[in-house]
A and B are shown apart, each in its own frame.
Chain A
Amino acid sequence: MRGEDLFNALGKIDEKYIEDAAPKKISFYQRAAFKWAVAAAACVCLVAGGYSVTSALTARDGDLPKIGYSIVIEGMGYEGTDELSMKNSDDINPWNEDVVLETLPVYKNLCYNEGKLSQTYFNVLDLKKQAEDLADKLGMSYGNTQISVSQGEEVYGFSLETEKGTVRAFPKGSNITVRESDFALIEKHMQTACNKSSDNETETGVYTEYSVDGEIFMAKTRSYYKGESIVEDIINFNMQSHYLTESGNYITGSSDNYLNGSEKIGDYPVISLGEAKEKLLRGEHISSAAESYVEGGEITEDVIEKADLIYYTVGNQEYYLPYYRFYVKSYSGDNDIQQYAYFYVCAVVEEYLGEITVFDGSFQ
């Protein structure tokens, strides 16, 4: 018996259950927008029932180019974590509260494709070549079984089946899935993806995510190559992280490379954590969580558990900008596991930021 037998049996259950569970609202335009949002995953995308946040960054002087960006935050459900995940994960973010930063780089994503999942800077043939080059470098022979990775009509990656496993290329990274016994290939892929060798130092941590029930939902290892400065470490951690996940006898090594197909706009002055916290307390934040989710109904010092600095990278982002991310205590479920909602404050100095307009979302 397999899962498919169960799936087939479910197909033959009493029709009254099927009828009761039928989706109540069906609109394909909505669905298309939603699928795109789901794939963006980091909750910074267009989605039904969300918040739309648009902003324009204007350079203070002629040194920095004038840029503008738009972000839409997911509204159904909210982005966050919980005490178990925090407690049982290593934190390898090179930024900490003692780090003093004057500027941080901002990047324009040349692959950005407004309102779409696919990132268009690379076409399918570019991605195919990337996948083939990677397979060649790893000594994985692929024959003629090239397959595009698509979501609907949109091709967003390219996959090669090889005798040792699968090689996939994306505009912003690559991954390989191989047997556990071929672990050396995973390490080689990580080095190849960043032009590094085994001599380069890495920072590695294990991240465990829990469900609201306290069950382990996912465990992965994250690594990045150490740079020569704290800013380089921050960029490597945020833009070029490597992940290792296991499934049965297979392992997948994924290498992000958000610098690929991105253009540095400039080094923008950034605010301190203290200044960011003041903005947070004044309500000048971006979040997929409403303040009503917060313990006590409003954000105060007491409900801010911790903060870190990250770049928004996941999904089809127009710009890669630094944000202070605050972990704010939110209402927990039935099992008393403390939940935290993420609230973001852009780390770029205020005068470089245009007016931020927040649209309370309704179905697009």
Chain B
Amino acid sequence: MKDIDIIKLYFARSEKAIDETDKKYGAYCICIAKNILFNNQDSEECVNDTYLRAWNSIPPKEPHNLRTYLGKITRGLAINRYKLYSAEKRGGSSAELVLSELEGCIPSGMSVEDTLDEKLLIKAVEDFLRRQSTEKRNIFLRRYWYCSSVSDIARDFSMSESKVTSLLYRQRHKLREHLEREEII
């Protein structure tokens, strides 16, 4: 079913909207949740929450791209759930690694309390991504948006894991330089 038809079902308040969403984008959402949570049951619960969030938000929202819209909700819910679990010291998630790698983009002198304008940060990150080649950008986002493991990325981009690791290292370094140049950090 086309996205526009699924969205029509949401607007018509038909529960079939959830079934069709699950059929078309269930695997995509589970993949994102599982990368972050590393647990089937939690991932499924997280994706169910995504559907509920979509049900409650469409209408009034009318997503331009349903897949990405659902992916963003899943990612946000999964990371919140991950934070809860990390407080409970449950391990196994790649999110911990992803967050610690991103931590490396922030100067050590910058404190947690140092606030920033999120809009400026998003714009700077987009500027940085725009300057990357398509492949490098996609690899960066597979790691830091989708939280995919280095092994999964290596498999999907037909590269060695060490090459992916090195490429990500270089990109984090460049991102930090870019954020410094833009006086974000």
Q: Which residues of A contact B (CB under 8 A)?
A: 1-15, 17-28, 31, 34-35, 37-38, 48-49, 76-78, 145, 147, 149-153, 159, 161, 211-213, 215, 217, 333
Min Cβ gap B97→A in Å is 11
Total B residues in contact with A, Cβ cutoff 8 Å: 73
A77 to B157, CA, bound (A): 10
Extra contacts besides A13-B122, A152-B38 (14): CB < 8 Å = A10-B141, A15-B65, A15-B69, A17-B126, A18-B68, A19-B67, A21-B142, A76-B161, A77-B162, A77-B163, A147-B89, A153-B40, A153-B41, A217-B169
Q: Which residue of chain B lies nearest to A341 when distances are taken between CB atoms in the complex?
A: B160
A20 to B79, CA, bound (A): 21
Does any Cβ of A come within 8 Å of B159's Cβ?
yes
Min Cβ gap A292→B in Å is 13
Asked whether, in the complex, the Cβ of B72 is within 8 Å of the Cβ of A18, the reply is yes
Known contacts: A76-B154, A78-B160. The answer to whether A7 contacts B166 by CB under 8 A is no
Residues of B within 8 A of A18 (CB): 68, 71-72, 141, 145
Asked whether, in the complex, the Cβ of B122 is within 8 Å of the Cβ of A22, the reply is no
Indicate the member of A12, A77, A161 with the most B CB atoms within 10 Å.
A77
Residues of B within 8 A of A150 (CB): 39, 90-92
Asked whether, in the complex, the Cβ of A28 is within 8 Å of the Cβ of B27, the reply is yes
Known contacts: A18-B68, A19-B67, A151-B92. The answer to whether A11 contacts B76 by CB under 8 A is yes
Q: Looking at the complex, which one of B92, B146, B162, B163 makes contact with A149 (CB distance below 8 Å)?
A: B92
Q: Which residue of chain A lies nearest to B160 when distances are taken between CB atoms in the complex?
A: A77
Asked whether, in the complex, the Cβ of B110 is within 8 Å of the Cβ of A10, the reply is no
Indicate the member of B64, B71, B106, B160 with the most A CB atoms within 10 Å.
B160
Residues of B within 8 A of A147 (CB): 88-91
Asked whether, in the complex, the Cβ of B148 is within 8 Å of the Cβ of A23, the reply is yes
Asked whether, in the complex, the Cβ of A37 is within 8 Å of the Cβ of B151, the reply is yes
Q: Looking at the complex, which one of A2, A9, A77, A333 makes contact with B125 (CB distance below 8 Å)?
A: A9
Asked whether, in the complex, the Cβ of A4 is within 8 Å of the Cβ of B72, the reply is no
Min Cβ gap A134→B in Å is 18
Q: How many contacts between A and B, using CB within 8 angstroms?
A: 175
Q: Looking at the complex, which one of A2, A22, A34 makes contact with B106 (CB distance below 8 Å)?
A: A2
Shortest 5 CB-CB contacts between residues of A and residues of B: A77-B160, A3-B103, A3-B102, A21-B141, A211-B166
Min Cβ gap A216→B in Å is 10
Residues of A within 8 A of B31 (CB): 23, 26, 28, 31
Asked whether, in the complex, the Cβ of A21 is within 8 Å of the Cβ of B169, the reply is no
Asked whether, in the complex, the Cβ of B170 is within 8 Å of the Cβ of A213, the reply is yes
Indicate the member of A17, A19, A24 with the most B CB atoms within 10 Å.
A17
Asked whether, in the complex, the Cβ of B100 is within 8 Å of the Cβ of A10, the reply is no
Asked whether, in the complex, the Cβ of A152 is within 8 Å of the Cβ of B40, the reply is yes
Does any Cβ of A come within 8 Å of B4's Cβ?
no
Q: Looking at the complex, which one of A14, A25, A38 makes contact with B149 (CB distance below 8 Å)?
A: A38
- Residue pairs across A and B with Cβ atoms less than 8 A apart, 8 shown, are A3-B106, A6-B106, A18-B68, A20-B138, A22-B67, A37-B151, A150-B90, A150-B91
A1 to B138, CA, bound (A): 25
A153 to B149, CA, bound (A): 18
Asked whether, in the complex, the Cβ of A7 is within 8 Å of the Cβ of B114, the reply is no
Asked whether, in the complex, the Cβ of A5 is within 8 Å of the Cβ of B169, the reply is no
A22 to B34, CA, bound (A): 14
Residues of B within 8 A of A22 (CB): 28, 67-68, 71, 146
Q: Looking at the complex, which one of B39, B106, B141 makes contact with A1 (CB distance below 8 Å)?
A: B106
Min Cβ gap A116→B in Å is 15
Min Cβ gap B151→A in Å is 4
A190 to B136, CA, bound (A): 42
Q: Which residue of chain B lies nearest to A150 when distances are taken between CB atoms in the complex?
A: B92
Asked whether, in the complex, the Cβ of B151 is within 8 Å of the Cβ of A151, the reply is no
Known contacts: A4-B99, A14-B126, A23-B142. The answer to whether A9 contacts B67 by CB under 8 A is no
Q: Looking at the complex, which one of A21, A24, A48 makes contact with B145 (CB distance below 8 Å)?
A: A21
Q: Looking at the complex, which one of A6, A31, A159, A217 makes contact with B34 (CB distance below 8 Å)?
A: A31
A145 to B89, CA, bound (A): 10
A17 to B142, CA, bound (A): 10
Asked whether, in the complex, the Cβ of B105 is within 8 Å of the Cβ of A21, the reply is no
Asked whether, in the complex, the Cβ of B154 is within 8 Å of the Cβ of A77, the reply is yes
Q: Looking at the complex, which one of B30, B98, B116, B164 makes contact with A5 (CB distance below 8 Å)?
A: B116
Asked whether, in the complex, the Cβ of A3 is within 8 Å of the Cβ of B100, the reply is yes
Asked whether, in the complex, the Cβ of A34 is within 8 Å of the Cβ of B115, the reply is no
A19 to B28, CA, bound (A): 11
Does any Cβ of A come within 8 Å of B152's Cβ?
yes
